Structure 1
Amino acid sequence: MNKVELFIPCFIDQLYPETAFNTVKLLERAGCEVIYNAEQTCCGQPAYNAGFWDEAKSIGLKFLNDYQDEFPIVAPSASCIGMVRNGYDDLFTNSMEHNRCRSIQKNIFEISDFLVNVLEKEYFGAELVGNAVYHDSCSALRECQIKDEPRRLLSHVGGLELLPMRDQETCCGFGGTFAVKFEGISAAMAEQKVKNALAVKADYIISTDSSCLLQLQAYIDKHQLPIKTIHLVDVLTSGWANI
């Protein structure tokens, strides 16, 4: 049995706890023994993106110390994986933590990347009836080079038809503090993404980043639109009671 360490980003911990529990279920079904350190907190991305690098480094140091480098570290968030793999270069290169950081960076994975490329498993017996589009988050696509992996996993979900949509790889408008500082632009970007999904008659917008889903669901709820956002992990654990 493969042992993995689970990293649950603060965003999911606070707003989408069910996705966290489903991540455990999915990894266990994939044949993994899941180790969870309850002392874990944040990877430091919010402080880093806001320019507070000293504070980000303090949080990042705690992150490095919260995990072993003996087992793979898996998270249901490409955004946080991108931070550790790339942002930590700015914080820890040529520091006392340099080697420790490099070891962690080589051993941390977004969950679709881990399932497809490390475990080489794609079918988990999930069922979700409907049409869906997949939203490529900026972090997944541009920082982690994740594109085919989620689609390969979704192709095995019973009853689900994955549809192409216009501007598939365009940002949803969240961007952390961008959504706060540039609210009008952010809302317009979310509007365009949702309209593109509705144009192909999708029932669901699926992504591997919950921050994108929060952004899009807020627009959907405000305008009471007939579409729903759902995390990739929640799709891959759908319908198990019927099996």
Structure 2
Amino acid sequence: MTSPEPQPPAPQPSESESKDRVYRSVPAIAGGVLLLAIAGWLGIDAAISGEGRTPWLALAVLLLVAPLIVAFTLRPAVYAGEDRLRIRNPFRLVVVPWGRVASLRSAYSNEVLTESGTKYQLWAVPVSLRARKKAARRETRATAQARREMGRDEGRGSALGMRAGLGDGLGGDSVSDGPVRAETDRIMDELRGLYEARHQAESAQGEVTVRWAYEVLAPAVAGAVLVLILVALG
């Protein structure tokens, strides 16, 4: 009796794909789902109960609005791999190898600047000035608390050494956790760290590619054309 031949192993996802870090805006996704629900409810209600050209106009508006809502809320994402950065913005997909990145900048928006001088905004990682101010206040409170603990511990002599051994006192969370940062600023720090580690790697070289999101643009343009035709016909 012959033994069965060993089966080839099942194909596995590439290492670079499996290690990609994905960044998306949770508030934007929640808002997009809500807007789609409202638009769908209003559009379907008008299509069912409307008269004359109203149902067709409602469907045309829905065809125009739905892709735009998806484009600006659900679609944006940033995929950070070991060799490249993929930026999925509302109407474009940009792939930038780390070797072509010149800098990652944060001001009123988070951007990637390439060696050619082209800027690409990270729609999925929006800047929140309110979150920055909140993080700054938390950092100020944490620093003041650490100073108060330091003043108390300096007067306790040997008790300080005991608490240091137990991970208390100056080794507490307020000091060891580092500076308080806004969520999007922490994401940019991670991207900068990955860029510094990988931008000289041989596998991280290549050309920047940009692809338009025709799956979003085509239905939106079709809806806009239908709306114009129906409005022109009166």
Q: If you compute each CA radius of gyration, which structure gives the higher value, 1 or 2?
A: 2
Q: Establish whether TM, by shorter chain, passes 0.5.
A: no
Q: Which has the higher contact order (CA 8 A, sep 6+)?
A: 2
Q: Please give the range of the TM-score, normalised by the shorter of the 2 chains.
A: under 0.3
Q: TM-score, normalised by structure 2?
A: 0.24
